[in-house]
Amino acid sequence: MSTDKKQLKIGVFLAGTGHHVASWRHPDAQADGSINLDYFKRLAQTAERGKLDMLFLADSLSISPDSHPNVLARFEPFTLLGALSQATSKIGLAATASTTYSEPFHVARQFASLDHLSGGRAAWNIVTSSIESTALNFSGEQHLEHSLRYQRAEEFVEVVRGLWDSWDDDALIRDKADGIYFAPDKLHELNHKGDYFSVRGPLNVPRSPQGHPVLIQAGSSDSGQNLAARTADLIFTTQNHLKDSQAFYQSVKQKAVSFGRKPGDVSIMPGIVPFIGDTVQEAQAKFKELQELIIPSVGLKILSSYMGGLDLTQFPLDGPLPDLDIEVNAVKSRFQLIKDLAKRENFTILELSRYIAGSRGHNIFVGTAEQLADHFIRWVEEGACDGFNLMPPLLPEGLDLFVDRVVPILQERGVFRKEYEGSTLREHLGLQRPASRYAK
């Protein structure tokens, strides 16, 4: 590309009917979207038409009757991405997998296999599973305390990366005449023995097109930031304000450098929930339409779930959030973000619950396509991020609008590709293909 402008990285987080809690109630919503393959294929193909870097799937391993419709009944990510790999040819495919309730051998294998099937488009969103009830679906093993989950996660990722290097890139010779299928000195046992895992290897999948599938991390706590700065290629984060995001950006890049990496080795992509209209008024009307579809009891339950299960009905709902300081084994960084938000916006609890339920703490943007493009460019130019993880409030509309209205503006301004230059996700993101740990 003949421009020297910094290129934006853009992913889309596909979540059933959309990221707004009431999206499924909207007349235009595909109410069964979370378990409808044709619908997912259409979304994936739209994102690829818009030349986005990747699509992203969240995951969870337990539900309750209070879970969101997008979460209650949906596809398992690897089977779904296996299918979507055949409906697309360029866009990256990111799946979430937990380091707390799985085994490194299984996870290494699933991502390596997906990377082969998709021609080098797989990415792993590393999560530690913050929902305590998940343990109840996995033979009641004690849910690990926050810092222990991250210790386990660090070791888990290390094992997975080791397994991905089991085969040298040129190990498989397949010499029919001499009967030599592979070079024995190019197949490696890992022989990992650590605090949480002991894994001999080797993996039964050859080294994949990307060498290592792309690593994504989404925790914003100190432990999460450390894990990300040490190992992740991409960070998904919740950032509502430019200055906060700049500080986070600086902090993570500095940590990365302290771990011996280059600042460009890790990219930061905040989530954003854009309501896009031809005018600001139209965008505001779209936001209001969805907000009014939120059932108050649902909003309160969601807010509570973001605050470690705190019972909010004990406080006057038309009053402010009391200044709480509760120790919970939940996502700590989110708890603080929500408290800060409530204070800054002077929300009542009910207003806060609607706001949180509508955005899930992420940055809500309401405006025109032009304004959203300006916003994207400003945040990247001012060192607040390297791009965005798009969280359309209503699907497919929000993705269609982004691709048809916003992407052309970004392309016009020379900050986003008009065609995919490469074919792997690493190539889209400008990341090197990592050498094997056994390379000489």
45, 49, 101, 317: which one binds its own copies (CB under 8 A)? 101
Q: Is 120 left (phi over 0), alpha (psi -120 to 50) or beta?
A: left
Neighbours of 137 (CB within 10 A): 11
User: Least distance from C-beta 109 to its own copies, angstroms?
Assistant: 5
> Which residue do the tokens 């089977």 mark?
79
43, 112, 228, 409: which one binds its own copies (CB under 8 A)? 112
HSE, CB side, 13 Å, CA atoms: give it for residue 185.
Answer: 2
Q: Rule CB under 8 A: is residue 132 a binding residue for its own copies?
A: no
Cα(301)–Cα(311) distance, rounded to whole angstroms? 8
> Which residue do the tokens 């993570």 mark?
252
Kindly report whether the peptide bond that precedes residue 396 is cis, defined as omega within 30 degrees of 0.
Answer: yes
Are residues 400 and 308 in contact, defined by beta-carbon separation less than 8 angstroms? Answer: no
Per DSSP, what are the bridge partners of residue 56?
13, 94
Q: Quick one: which segment of 135-143, 244-252, 311-319, 426-434 binds its own copies (CB under 8 A)?
A: 135-143
Q: Rule CB under 8 A: is residue 440 a binding residue for its own copies?
A: no
Cα(158)–Cα(135) distance, rounded to whole angstroms? 23
Are residues 18 and 360 in contact, defined by beta-carbon separation less than 8 angstroms? Answer: no
> What's the distance, CA 136 to chain centroid?
25
> What's the distance, CA 419 to chain centroid?
23
Q: Tell me whether residue 185 or residue 323 sits nearer to its own copies (CB atom).
A: 185
- How many residues line the site for its own copies (CB under 8 A)? 71
Q: Measured at the alpha carbon of residue 63, what is the angle toward residues 62 and 69, in degrees to the nearest 5?
A: 135
Q: Tell me whether residue 186 or residue 339 sits nearer to its own copies (CB atom).
A: 186
User: Least distance from C-beta 217 to its own copies, angstroms?
Assistant: 22
Q: Tell me whether residue 201 or residue 219 sits nearer to its own copies (CB atom).
A: 201
Q: Quick one: which segment of 170-178, 262-270, 305-313, 383-391 binds its own copies (CB under 8 A)?
A: 170-178
Q: Quick one: which segment of 99-107, 227-235, 359-367, 429-437 binds its own copies (CB under 8 A)?
A: 99-107
User: Least distance from C-beta 378 to its own copies, angstroms?
Assistant: 37
User: Least distance from C-beta 135 to its own copies, angstroms?
Assistant: 9
177 to 216: interface string for its own copies, x by CB under 8 A? --x-xx-x--x--------xxxxxxx-xxx----------
Q: Tell me whether residue 95 or residue 380 sits nearer to its own copies (CB atom).
A: 95
Are residues 82 and 41 in contact, defined by beta-carbon separation less than 8 angstroms? Answer: no
Cα(71)–Cα(66) distance, rounded to whole angstroms? 10
Q: Rule CB under 8 A: is residue 133 a binding residue for its own copies?
A: yes
Site for its own copies in 264-293 (CB under 8 A): 293
User: Least distance from C-beta 153 to its own copies, angstroms?
Assistant: 15
CB-count burial class (<10 Å; 0-12, 13-18, 19+) for 132: middle
Q: Beta strand pairing status for 267-277 and 234-237?
A: parallel
At position 15, the amino acid (one-letter code) is A
6, 45, 102, 438: which one binds its own copies (CB under 8 A)? 102
User: Least distance from C-beta 137 to its own copies, angstroms?
Assistant: 5
Q: Tell me whether residue 161 or residue 253 sits nearer to its own copies (CB atom).
A: 161
328 to 357: interface string for its own copies, x by CB under 8 A? ------------------------------
List of residues 6+ apart from 38 with CB closer than 8 A: none
Site for its own copies in 20-79 (CB under 8 A): 24-27, 29, 31-32, 35, 37, 60-63, 65, 67, 69, 71-76, 78-79
Closest CA to 211 of 428, 429, 425: 425
Q: Rule CB under 8 A: is residue 435 a binding residue for its own copies?
A: no
292 to 331: interface string for its own copies, x by CB under 8 A? -x-x--x---------------------------------
Q: Rule CB under 8 A: is residue 82 a binding residue for its own copies?
A: yes
Are residues 336 and 295 in contact, defined by beta-carbon separation less than 8 angstroms? Answer: no
